Amino acid sequence: MIFGKIQYLNLLPFHVFMKRFITSNQQSQSMNYKRGVPSEINEMFLSRRLDAAFISSINAKKYKHVNLGIIAKKEVWSVLVIPQEANEKDMASASSNALANILDVPGKVLIGDKALKHYLTSTQKIDLAQVWSQRYKLPFVFALLCFHNQKKVYSSIQKQFIKKRVKIPQYLLKQASKKTDIKPQDILDYLQLISYDLDLKAQKGLKKFYSLIK
């Protein structure tokens, strides 16, 4: 089983969970990871070099998925437009570039940990998830956990992950802080903004997004 691993802070709780899930289910010998930014993970999944991954919602429409995603109920801090800079897409992204276009927000798109650091240190920013929430009163779904086969396995992952409150071990929090140059408390505050449960309201948000894509 080959799983795509996006090493952004927004999936830190999921990675902690997966390490425990694999150990408890004795699947460590059959689970391998390929790492990359969202656009790279998308490409590997679409070419079937991955069995499962969190896929940008703009690419996930035609693929099987469980009700697990990367979702912003309101603001998100890590998907921004810098309005003072010239229009520029973030090549690591897919859904975020489309979102900026839909919302007609000009400037430079910035996603991931570098965007979070910018959010925390600069006043020059527009939070795209916040703009979406204000305009449509719905969550925004950035990615979905998609798979090609073994639905039973990913359904089990979804159910167990959603019902558990994952605590980030201090040593991992410190490692993440050192790697991203973002304070541990800021990381924890940021993670409070991320939802993973593709509930009915999130599904409505996803449907709205698909209806607006040109």
Q: What is the pLDDT of residue 27?
A: 54
Task: Please check whether residue 207 lies inside any domain of the structure.
Answer: no
Contact by Cβ (8 Å): 97, 88: no
Spatial distance between the Cα atoms of 129 and 134, rounded to a whole number of angstroms: 9
Task: Please check whether residue 86 lies inside any domain of the structure.
Answer: yes
* pLDDT 10s digits, 134-155: 999 999 999 999 999 989 989 9
Confidence label for 4 from pLDDT (cuts 50, 70 and 90): very high
Task: Indicate the pTM of the whole model.
Answer: 0.92
Domain count, the chain: 1
Task: Please check whether residue 40 lies inside any domain of the structure.
Answer: yes
Enclosing domain of residue 198: 2-202
Q: What is the pLDDT of residue 26?
A: 56
Task: Please check whether residue 83 lies inside any domain of the structure.
Answer: yes
Spatial distance between the Cα atoms of 37 and 35, rounded to a whole number of angstroms: 7
Spatial distance between the Cα atoms of 35 and 210, rounded to a whole number of angstroms: 27
Task: Please check whether residue 208 lies inside any domain of the structure.
Answer: no
Spatial distance between the Cα atoms of 90 and 108, rounded to a whole number of angstroms: 8
* pLDDT 10s digits, 90-135: 888 888 999 999 999 999 999 999 999 999 999 999 999 999 999 9
Task: Please check whether residue 143 lies inside any domain of the structure.
Answer: yes
Q: What is the pLDDT of residue 22?
A: 76
Task: Please check whether residue 214 lies inside any domain of the structure.
Answer: no
CATH number, domain with residue 131: 3.40.190
Least Cα distance to 128 among 107, 151, 113, 156 occurs for 107
Mean pLDDT score across all residues of the chain: 92
The yes-or-no verdict on residue 29 having pLDDT over 90 is: no
Residue environment code for 69-101, b if the CB has 16+ CB neighbours within 10 A, otherwise e: bbbbbebbbbbbbbeeeeeeebebbbbbbbbbb
For the segment 5-19, the average pLDDT, to the nearest whole number, is: 93
